[in-house]
Amino acid sequence: MTQPPPAKPRAFRLPPAGAQTASAPPPPGTETALADGIRVVEEPFEIVEAADGVPVPVAPRSRAPWATLLLSALGGLASLGIGLAVERLIADLFSAAPWLGIVALALLAVAVVALLAIVWREVAGVLRERRIEALRGDALDALRSRDHSAAKAVVRSLSALYAGRPAAEAARARLAALDDQILDVEDRLGIAEAELLQSLDRAAKAAVADAAKQVSAVTALSPRAIVDVAFVIFAGVRLLRRIATIYGGRPGLFGFLRLARAALAHLAVTGSVAVGDSLVQSVLGLGVAARISAKLGEGVLNGLMTARFGLAALAVCRPLPFTREAAPRLGDVAGELLRGGGEGEGREAAL
């Protein structure tokens, strides 16, 4: 076999010391050719951009918490007054009849036990909400940094969050079987999202759609504006609690207030764009308020605003950002409402 002739010596011009060649990095998604016919494709960070990476905002604490100090002081005074009144009542009952004092002490003990149970439930609810919020933040950090260990920890925490649900046992077993597999960060979180959250997403979107239709129907038929306002608030409170329960939260009073503040802050951050792109254009496109009646148009608008609040609550209560799954839009939960408005408009035009 003939050997190829040796390569002839060649001269190369080296750049001066310290000089660097300015070469723009290849755009994401382009192929880079290497030796031996190997091509390396750099993946774009589309998954991180596609995730609903709008961090769920919690209203920042004020530097001078005068309101907190005022409420704490008033609460302390009220507690002292109630305690002194109860002590005097029990003393008076003992002086009147010993058995009345014993009954009063027993009732006081029952009240203290019930109060401790309520406090424990509130604390547990707030801690669980913080756990879900931290899980969502860890998932976003893992997507940004592409940290495989962090992604595994997120999937384990998500699986542990739904450990008490019999319907999730099969999905948790499948995720546990994939724990030692070599998967990309996006793939691992996407599989966990599909296994554990897909059915919960459907239930949450159905809850938002039902609440929007109820608000639209009630406000369209109610004769008083105060009834409209009261029912919209009631429906929003019930919807937020229902979505939180679907995703594993157990909000008490303080937990609910924390969730409501986060949902309203999220709605303030993302709502202006969404309202301009979806709500107003849909209503103007249908001509509901102009062509049917003012009351029916008001009902549709209230239903759409309830749907917007429901989407914000879904983003707050969901333990993972949307990775492989598309984030729900207004048309996904209020499409039937808008179609109903369009059909009503057609009937009005026919008449």
Task: Summarize pLDDT for 28-44 with one digit per residue, the tens.
Answer: 444 444 444 444 444 44
Sign of CA dihedral 78, 82, 85, 87: negative
Instruction: Identify the weakest region by mean pLDDT among 140-149, 235-244, 261-270.
Output: 261-270
Residue 284 has pLDDT above 80, yes or no: no
Cβ neighbours around 238 below 10 Å, total:
13
Same domain, 120 and 205: no
Number of domains in the chain: 2
On whether residue 6 sits in a domain, the answer given is no
Question: Is the Cβ–Cβ distance between 246 and 162 less than 8 Å?
Answer: no
Provide the pLDDT confidence category of residue 347 given band limits of 50, 70 and 90.
Answer: very low
Mean of the pLDDT values across residues 192-206?
89
Amino acid sitting at position 291: R
The pLDDT assigned to 52 comes to 46
SS3 188: helix
On whether residue 324 sits in a domain, the answer given is yes
Domain termination residue (choose one: 89, 105, 135): 135
Cβ neighbours around 190 below 10 Å, total:
18
Identify the CA nearest to 133 among candidates 64, 72, 56, 79.
56
The pLDDT assigned to 129 comes to 86
Pick 140 or 275 by higher pLDDT.
140
Range of the domain at 300: 198-350
Mean of the pLDDT values across residues 171-197?
86
Q: What is the mean pLDDT of the chain?
A: 75
Query: What kind and span of H or E run contains 31?
Result: strand 31-33
Q: How many residues does the chain have?
A: 351
On whether residue 32 sits in a domain, the answer given is no
